[in-house]
Amino acid sequence: MRNQAQSRRYYLSEFSFYDGEHSVTFNIVGIDTEMKEITVAVTDQGKISVCAFDLMSDGERLFFEYGLYQEKIAVDDFEQIEGE
């Protein structure tokens, strides 16, 4: 149950990241803390893909690594998108 509550808390939360060349937008689709996996919709240069990443922890924050340089993307940096 805790896993579902956490997943709902972050569902479709958004984070934008500049990779040095382009802005990449992530939207959380699901978090599975038992399997240590996060599923996100990645929008990069107009292309959308749904990807699963290993969910890691540095002792303080949950994060996943993205891109060539394995940039840490922290789950807490995502913001909830408010509906109109």
**pLDDT for position 49:** 96
**pLDDT for position 84:** 43
**pLDDT for position 13:** 86
**pTM for the complete prediction?**
0.80
- 11 to 5, 19, 29, 67: CA distances (angstroms): 10, 23, 6, 22
Q: What is the pLDDT along the chain (84 residues), one digit of tens a residue?
A: 345 545 456 667 889 989 888 899 999 999 998 999 999 999 999 999 999 999 999 998 999 999 888 999 999 999 887 654
